[in-house]
Amino acid sequence: MDMKKDTLLQRGVVRVVISGPLRLILGKEIIIDYNDGITIHDIVNQLSKLYNEKTGRGHNKFSDLLNQLIIYINGNRWDKKTYLKIDKDTRIDIIHIINGG
């Protein structure tokens, strides 16, 4: 067991790794802190804000891009129609976001 990883999870931190062209804008990895629980939609909204800050584009542009995203949680592809709440009891080591070019 990696003690550092366990500590991060207890503190409420999700590591988001980004692949594809989006990586050039947002970077390779983003660490997101949360306290009372967070949903995947919350994470995508945070990515959207970061995307808009870095590009100066409006929210709609990211929404178009979001439809192209493939999201893996702990190695399993996430169905975007599924609501997923992440809280202290949810064991998530990594969220991997991929977008095509």
What was the pLDDT predicted at 97?
Answer: 74
Q: Residue 30 is encoded by which pair of tokens? A: 């983003």
Coil, strand, or helix at residue 86?
strand
What was the pLDDT predicted at 56?
Answer: 83
Average pLDDT by stretches of 10, the chain with 101 residues: 46 78 84 75 80 77 69 78 64 69 47
In Å, the largest CA–CA distance within the chain is: 42
What is the residue extent of each domain of the chain?
3-99
Q: Does domain 3-99 have CATH number 3.40.50.300?
A: no
What was the pLDDT predicted at 84?
Answer: 67
What was the pLDDT predicted at 85?
Answer: 66
DSSP 38-78: EEHHHHHHHHHHHHHHHH---HHHHHHHHTTEEEEETTEEP
What was the pLDDT predicted at 9?
Answer: 46
